[in-house]
Protein backbone atom coordinates (compact mmCIF):
# COMPACT_ATOMS: atom_id res chain seq x y z
CA UNK A 1 0.00 0.00 0.00
CA UNK A 2 1.23 3.51 -0.78
CA UNK A 3 1.41 5.42 2.49
CA UNK A 4 1.28 9.21 3.06
CA UNK A 5 4.68 10.81 3.59
CA UNK A 6 5.19 12.97 6.68
CA UNK A 7 6.43 16.52 6.01
CA UNK A 8 9.05 18.58 7.82
CA UNK A 9 7.49 19.80 11.05
CA UNK A 10 5.96 16.42 11.88
CA UNK A 11 7.44 15.24 15.22
CA UNK A 12 7.83 11.70 13.80
CA UNK A 13 10.73 13.00 11.70
CA UNK A 14 12.80 14.26 14.63
CA UNK A 15 12.61 11.23 16.91
CA UNK A 16 15.08 8.37 17.06
CA UNK A 17 13.60 5.21 15.56
CA UNK A 18 13.58 1.97 17.55
CA UNK A 19 15.56 -1.10 16.46
CA UNK A 20 13.51 -3.85 14.87
CA UNK A 21 13.33 -6.84 17.20
CA UNK A 22 10.61 -8.95 15.54
CA UNK A 23 11.20 -10.14 11.99
CA UNK A 24 7.56 -11.03 11.47
CA UNK A 25 4.71 -10.54 9.01
CA UNK A 26 4.15 -6.98 10.26
CA UNK A 27 7.74 -6.08 9.31
CA UNK A 28 7.36 -7.65 5.87
CA UNK A 29 4.18 -5.60 5.30
CA UNK A 30 6.07 -2.45 6.37
CA UNK A 31 8.86 -3.20 3.87
CA UNK A 32 6.31 -3.76 1.08
CA UNK A 33 4.59 -0.49 1.96
CA UNK A 34 7.93 1.35 1.92
CA UNK A 35 8.77 -0.08 -1.51
CA UNK A 36 5.31 0.73 -2.95
CA UNK A 37 5.45 4.26 -1.55
CA UNK A 38 9.02 4.69 -2.81
CA UNK A 39 8.07 3.71 -6.35
CA UNK A 40 5.47 6.52 -6.37
CA UNK A 41 6.26 8.71 -9.34
CA UNK A 42 9.41 6.80 -10.32
CA UNK A 43 11.78 9.64 -9.32
CA UNK A 44 12.13 8.70 -5.66
CA UNK A 45 15.47 7.33 -4.45
CA UNK A 46 14.93 6.43 -0.80
CA UNK A 47 12.45 6.32 2.03
CA UNK A 48 12.63 5.54 5.74
CA UNK A 49 9.97 4.10 8.03
CA UNK A 50 9.71 7.32 10.11
CA UNK A 51 8.73 9.19 6.94
CA UNK A 52 5.54 7.14 6.85
CA UNK A 53 5.02 7.48 10.59
CA UNK A 54 6.53 4.17 11.73
CA UNK A 55 9.27 4.66 14.36
CA UNK A 56 11.38 1.63 13.33
CA UNK A 57 14.91 1.41 11.92
CA UNK A 58 14.05 0.41 8.34
CA UNK A 59 15.04 2.11 5.09
CA UNK A 60 14.28 1.38 1.44
CA UNK A 61 16.09 2.44 -1.71
CA UNK A 62 15.77 2.47 -5.48
CA UNK A 63 18.83 4.04 -7.11
CA UNK A 64 20.38 3.36 -10.51
CA UNK A 65 18.50 0.08 -10.89
CA UNK A 66 19.35 -1.17 -7.40
CA UNK A 67 16.32 -1.68 -5.18
CA UNK A 68 16.08 -3.04 -1.70
CA UNK A 69 15.77 -2.40 1.99
CA UNK A 70 17.88 -2.64 5.13
CA UNK A 71 16.59 -3.30 8.63
CA UNK A 72 18.63 -1.94 11.57
CA UNK A 73 21.28 -0.43 9.26
CA UNK A 74 24.76 0.43 10.50
CA UNK A 75 26.78 2.70 8.22
CA UNK A 76 30.51 2.71 7.60
CA UNK A 77 31.19 5.95 5.66
CA UNK A 78 34.43 6.70 3.84
CA UNK A 79 36.54 9.72 4.73
CA UNK A 80 36.32 10.99 1.14
CA UNK A 81 33.42 13.40 0.79
CA UNK A 82 31.15 14.67 -1.96
CA UNK A 83 29.12 17.85 -2.27
CA UNK A 84 25.83 17.90 -4.10
CA UNK A 85 22.24 19.01 -4.08
CA UNK A 86 19.94 16.89 -1.99
CA UNK A 87 16.19 16.76 -1.69
CA UNK A 88 13.75 14.93 0.54
CA UNK A 89 10.26 13.49 0.10
CA UNK A 90 9.43 15.16 3.44
CA UNK A 91 10.29 18.57 1.93
CA UNK A 92 8.91 18.45 -1.63
CA UNK A 93 10.68 20.80 -4.01
CA UNK A 94 13.47 21.80 -1.62
CA UNK A 95 16.94 21.03 -2.97
CA UNK A 96 20.04 22.24 -1.13
CA UNK A 97 23.77 21.42 -1.16
CA UNK A 98 24.79 18.85 1.47
CA UNK A 99 28.21 17.32 2.10
CA UNK A 100 28.19 13.54 2.53
CA UNK A 101 30.67 10.68 2.43
CA UNK A 102 31.40 9.62 -1.14
CA UNK A 103 31.29 5.92 -0.31
CA UNK A 104 29.43 3.93 2.33
CA UNK A 105 29.02 0.33 3.41
CA UNK A 106 25.69 -0.43 5.07
CA UNK A 107 25.25 -3.58 7.14
CA UNK A 108 21.99 -4.81 8.57
CA UNK A 109 19.31 -7.39 7.87
CA UNK A 110 16.54 -8.02 5.38
CA UNK A 111 12.89 -8.45 6.41
CA UNK A 112 13.50 -12.13 7.17
CA UNK A 113 16.42 -11.36 9.49
CA UNK A 114 19.14 -12.49 7.08
CA UNK A 115 22.36 -10.42 7.01
CA UNK A 116 22.61 -7.77 4.28
CA UNK A 117 25.59 -5.69 3.15
CA UNK A 118 25.14 -2.85 0.66
CA UNK A 119 28.12 -1.01 -0.83
CA UNK A 120 27.43 2.33 -2.48
CA UNK A 121 29.22 5.23 -4.18
CA UNK A 122 28.15 8.72 -5.19
CA UNK A 123 24.41 9.37 -5.39
CA UNK A 124 23.58 5.92 -4.05
CA UNK A 125 25.81 6.51 -1.01
CA UNK A 126 24.15 9.91 -0.53
CA UNK A 127 20.71 8.27 -0.55
CA UNK A 128 21.63 5.65 2.05
CA UNK A 129 23.16 8.25 4.37
CA UNK A 130 20.13 10.51 4.00
CA UNK A 131 17.71 7.70 4.86
CA UNK A 132 19.83 6.48 7.78
CA UNK A 133 19.79 10.04 9.14
CA UNK A 134 15.98 9.86 9.25
CA UNK A 135 16.30 6.85 11.56
CA UNK A 136 18.20 9.06 14.01
CA UNK A 137 15.73 11.96 13.74
CA UNK A 138 18.18 14.01 11.66
CA UNK A 139 16.86 15.96 8.67
CA UNK A 140 19.02 16.89 5.70
CA UNK A 141 18.58 20.57 6.56
CA UNK A 142 20.26 19.84 9.91
CA UNK A 143 23.48 19.11 7.97
CA UNK A 144 23.56 22.38 6.03
CA UNK A 145 26.28 24.99 6.22
CA UNK A 146 24.96 28.18 7.88
CA UNK A 147 24.64 30.16 4.64
CA UNK A 148 22.52 27.41 3.08
CA UNK A 149 20.52 26.75 6.24
CA UNK A 150 19.18 30.31 6.34
CA UNK A 151 17.87 29.99 2.77
CA UNK A 152 16.39 26.55 3.48
CA UNK A 153 14.68 27.84 6.64
CA UNK A 154 13.17 30.70 4.63
CA UNK A 155 11.83 28.29 1.99
CA UNK A 156 10.52 25.89 4.66
CA UNK A 157 8.64 28.73 6.38
CA UNK A 158 7.23 29.92 3.04
CA UNK A 159 5.92 26.39 2.41
CA UNK A 160 4.20 26.40 5.80
CA UNK A 161 6.41 23.72 7.34
CA UNK A 162 8.51 24.07 10.49
CA UNK A 163 12.03 22.75 10.95
Give just the sign of the alpha carbon dihedral 134, 136, 139, 143.
negative
Which tops the pLDDT comparison, 161 or 97? 97
Residue 161 banded pLDDT, cuts 50, 70, 90: confident
Residue 4 domain-assigned?
A: no
Q: Which of the residue ranges 47-51, 108-112, 144-148 would you say has the lowest mean pLDDT?
A: 144-148
Where residue 98 sits, what CATH number does that domain have?
A: 3.90.45.10
Instruction: Indicate whether 117 belongs to any domain.
Output: yes
Could you give the CA distance from residue 48 to residue 31 in angstroms, rounded to a whole number?
10
For residues 126 and 44, what is the distance between their CA atoms, to the nearest angstrom? 13
Domain count, the chain: 1
* 80: nearest Cα among 104, 101, 108, 59: 101
What is the spatial distance between Cα 88 and Cα 140, in angstroms, rounded to a whole number? 8
Note the pLDDT tens digit of each residue in 127-137.
999 999 999 99
Percent over 90 (pLDDT), the chain: 87
Domain housing 103:
11-159
Model confidence band, residue 14 (pLDDT cutoffs 50, 70, 90): very high
80 pLDDT above the threshold of 80: yes
pLDDT score of 42:
63
Q: What is the pTM of this model?
A: 0.94
Q: According to the model, what pLDDT value does residue 41 have?
A: 62
Q: Does the pLDDT at position 99 exceed 90?
A: yes
In a domain, 2, yes or no: no
Is 131 one of the catalytic residues? yes
- In the prediction, which pLDDT does 163 show? 58
Q: Are 95 and 53 in contact (CB under 8 A)?
A: no
Checking if the pLDDT of 140 tops 90, the result is yes
121 belongs to a structural domain: yes
pLDDT in the model for residue 147: 86
- Which residue is catalytic, options 18, 79, 131, 147? 131
Percent of the chain scoring above 70 in pLDDT: 98
Q: Is residue 5 part of a domain?
A: no
Question: For residue 3, is it within any domain?
Answer: no
Flag whether 80 is in a domain.
yes
Amino acid sequence: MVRPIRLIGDPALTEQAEPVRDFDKQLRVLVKDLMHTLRGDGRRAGLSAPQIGVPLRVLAFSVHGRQGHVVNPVLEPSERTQDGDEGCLSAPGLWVPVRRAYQVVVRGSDAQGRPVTVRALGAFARCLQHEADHLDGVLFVDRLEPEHRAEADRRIAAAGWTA
